[in-house]
Amino acid sequence: MAAIALVLLSAAAQAQYFQGGETEPGLPSGCVGSYPNITMCREKNWYLGDTVDICKPLIPYPLPGQQVYIKDPINFCINLPNPDSIFLKNNYYSKGLRPTVVQAEGFVQAFCSGPYLPPGAKPFPVGAIRSAHVMKNFTVPGQHYYQVHGTMDCDALNINCTQSFPGAYDDGGQYDDGPFISCGKEPYSGVDNSTSGNLGFKHYVEMAGNGLFCMRVCEPGTLVEGGACDVTHDTEGCEKYMRVKFTSGFDYVDLAAPGAVTTFSVSLPPLPSPTAMPSSGGGSGGGAGAPVNTVNPSSKSGAISRTWSCSAVFVLLFALYIV
């Protein structure tokens, strides 16, 4: 089985370039991705040195449509299989198949919740994100990061989240901005480091599969072993790598004040299939019994925005009047 998988991965890498073939926007002629040759990666111990990427983008990167960020559980973007990818269309969608996260490595598209969309990003389909928990950890200088984990409706996202075998984490499907010379599969993706995204941040590491997802966005220099966005353990799954548990709800915690959890009330459409959301267990970060601040957002076209109640406006006007 391992040999067959290796052959398929190698074939996928070689299939990204055909002289005079179809071309993804922003890439050299004949390129539909920048996935490194896995056979070569193994032979060179996952370091390609001075190997030239013939499909390196012709435009600045992180590429449009491949930029992620995290603000809170209703304002974030993650990368997922790109429904408009030439490669995925030819090999999956046109054949009535849905790619898994693993099969789409190298062919990603940023999907977002909230009103802000980085260049080229798309809004999530309504109800695609079933839960999200965000943690801000700025406790270690040089290792600052935001983290999000949650559950998703794979049918709404048109991706295959079936386990390869019981207990498998979708074969450890992961996306990150590891460089091409280190055999990174999305080397030209990255973090939206604008003021609307995560200013000053550069790296991300993401895992997804089986209806689950998790991602960190981190400061520069943190992709290395032991760093906040360490990519050397990114096949271990969210529970082990990011030490999370999957529960319902939407909430935010800042580890500078871990006793206060902000919860968000999000209205979700019913799931079309009982298998779209995995079973859950345990609790989310922040702990039970912590002070809770509730925000009531409203959803429109996949984007979520906060709303003020009439009573809140009245209280504010009254306070201004008596001052």
Q: What is the dihedral of CA 241, 82, 133, 223, to 10 degrees?
A: 40
> How far apart, in whole angstroms, are the C-alpha atoms of residue 165 and residue 91?
22
Amino acid at 152: M
The whole-angstrom distance between residue 131's C-alpha and the CA centroid of its chain comes to 14
For the chain, the structural domain boundaries read 62-306
- Measure Cα distances from 261 to 73, 136, 245, 293 in Å: 12, 11, 16, 7
Amino acid at 306: R
Q: Give the percent of the chain with pLDDT over 70.
A: 76
Element (H, E) at 310: helix 310-322
**Do 239 and 233 form a contact (C-beta atoms < 8 A)?**
no
Confidence class of residue 272 from pLDDT cuts 50, 70 and 90? confident
**Do 302 and 125 form a contact (C-beta atoms < 8 A)?**
yes
Confidence class of residue 278 from pLDDT cuts 50, 70 and 90? very low
Q: Which two tokens stand for residue 191?
A: 């973090």
> How far apart, in whole angstroms, are the C-alpha atoms of residue 298 and residue 107?
31
- Strand 212-218 relative to strand 203-209: parallel, antiparallel, unpaired? antiparallel
Q: What is the dihedral of CA 9, 14, 15, 18, to 10 degrees?
A: 180
Give the 3-state secondary structure of residue 67: strand
Average pLDDT, the chain: 81
**Do 234 and 240 form a contact (C-beta atoms < 8 A)?**
no
* pLDDT: which is higher, 285 or 17: 17
CA triple 49-51-53, angle to 5 deg = 130
CA triple 85-87-90, angle to 5 deg = 105
The model's pLDDT over 117-145, given as tens digits with 9 standing for 90+, comes to 999 999 999 999 999 999 999 999 999 99
**Do 133 and 146 form a contact (C-beta atoms < 8 A)?**
no
